[in-house]
Amino acid sequence: MSEVKISAETRSEFGKGAARRIRRENKVPGVLYGHGTDPVHLTLPGHDLMMALKTSNALLALQLDGKTELAIPKAVQRDPLKGFIEHVDLLLVNRGEQVSVEIPVHTEGELAAGGNLLEHVLNALPVEAEATHIPESLTVSVEGLEAGASVLAKDIPLPKGVTLAVDADAVVLQVLAAQAEEPAAEGTEASAEA
């Protein structure tokens, strides 16, 4: 994963009014915390942040007061209707540090014939990875799986340096049997017509 450079400014105004003023300038209020340091309140460029957060678990290289700080997004609040970023919480990280993140799980391949359904029990797999080597996603083959089959967390191949942060026997995907529609009873149709 590559670092996304974003310039950030510290802010001293807080509250709803200050946040609205920041958003009107196409910027996003945020907080940077971690490693036992005091939280730092930030203002980030809205468009740059939105583009960086299109990648899950983005690693941000914040240009702040002449220094570069590495951070990952911990919580992102979005406008429920328009989807604009309203606030972001960033977690300070160091190179080589292990962090807990959730990696999206994608599937490939076709299920066995029969119209079975694939249920994603976990859409994202909790893992621990080095802060500068967080995978963007994990891919699982479901080729030929039949009804009743499950894919467990331990069955998903992980990149080097990534470990599970969930029970190894946790179900990630399962194949459900398609439910056939019951044919209507002939006696009920005849009585309805009469």
Write out residues in the chain with pLDDT < 50, as ranges.
none
Which run of H or of E encompasses 193?
helix 186-193
* pLDDT at position 97: 84
- CA dist list (Å): 62 to 84, 103, 136, 190: 20, 22, 20, 73
Indicate left, alpha or beta for 42 from its phi (over 0: left) and psi (-120 to 50: alpha).
beta
* pLDDT at position 80: 87
What is the spatial order of strands in the sheet that 171-176 belongs to? 117-120, 171-176, 150-152
pLDDT tens track for 133-174: 888 888 988 888 888 888 898 988 888 888 888 998 999 989
Q: Is the pTM of this model over 0.75?
A: no
